[in-house]
Amino acid sequence: MNKVFLIGNLTRDPELRSTPNGDSVCSFTIAVNRRRRSNAEAGQPEADFFRVSAWRQLGENCAKYLAKGRKVNVIGSVSCRTYVGSDGQTRASLEVQADDVEFLTPKSEQGDMGGYSAPAAAPAARPAAPAPANYGNQPQGGGFVQVDEEELPF
């Protein structure tokens, strides 16, 4: 079984291309930090770099919502490709064929880099829900809904 689970950050913006028969493929590279640090005094973690290819709808979503620096979880199969670099050295590249890509960067950290848009407004026929209470420093509508304690089943 060849299955890899990687969590890392994009090293550059993804590139979306199409094959001659019309299939979309998105390519990007992620840096995955190692747990051990050989250069701990300098504060630089060691990292491994993986090239990722996502096909069809998954690739289109990656190209639309991902950008350099975003954190992702990639699940797929890994292969090793060798090639000769411009300096004549033989090099190896780990490539992942993505089966699933989960976007891990929270919406609050995405800023103006694209990201997700707010859900569409509710249809006018539905009655509007009451505004949630503002608890502590939580912004209004921060995902909490005020519930009457008598409605709780316990």
pLDDT in tens, 73-85: 999 999 998 989 8
Range name among 45-54, 84-93, 118-127, 138-147 with the lowest pLDDT average: 118-127
pLDDT for the residue 71? 95
Q: Taking a C-beta distance cutoff of 8 angstroms, is the pair 93, 107 a contact?
A: no
In the predicted model, what is the mean pLDDT of the chain? Answer: 78
- Superfamily for the 1-35+44-106 domain: Nucleic acid-binding proteins (2.40.50.140)
19-25: average pLDDT: 94
Q: Is the pLDDT of residue 140 over 80?
A: no
* pLDDT at residue 99, as a whole number: 96
Q: What per-residue confidence (pLDDT) applies to 105?
A: 84
Strand (E) or helix (H) holding 93: strand 90-103
Whether 123 has a pLDDT exceeding 80, the answer reads no
- The length of the chain in residues reads 154
Q: Is the pLDDT assigned to residue 41 strictly greater than 70?
A: no
User: Which residue has tokens 């996502």?
Assistant: 54
Residue 7 has pLDDT above 80, yes or no: yes
* Helix count and strand count (H, E) for the chain: 1, 6
Q: In the block, which residue shows the tokens 């809904």?
A: 145
Between 142 and 116, residue with greater pLDDT: 142
Sorted by where each begins, the domain ranges of the chain are 1-35+44-106
Determine the pLDDT at residue 110: 61
Residue 101 pLDDT grade (very low, low, confident, very high; cuts 50, 70, 90): very high
Token readout for 133 is: 């209470």
Q: If pLDDT is split at 50, 70 and 90, which confidence band does 97 have?
A: very high
pTM of the complete model: 0.63
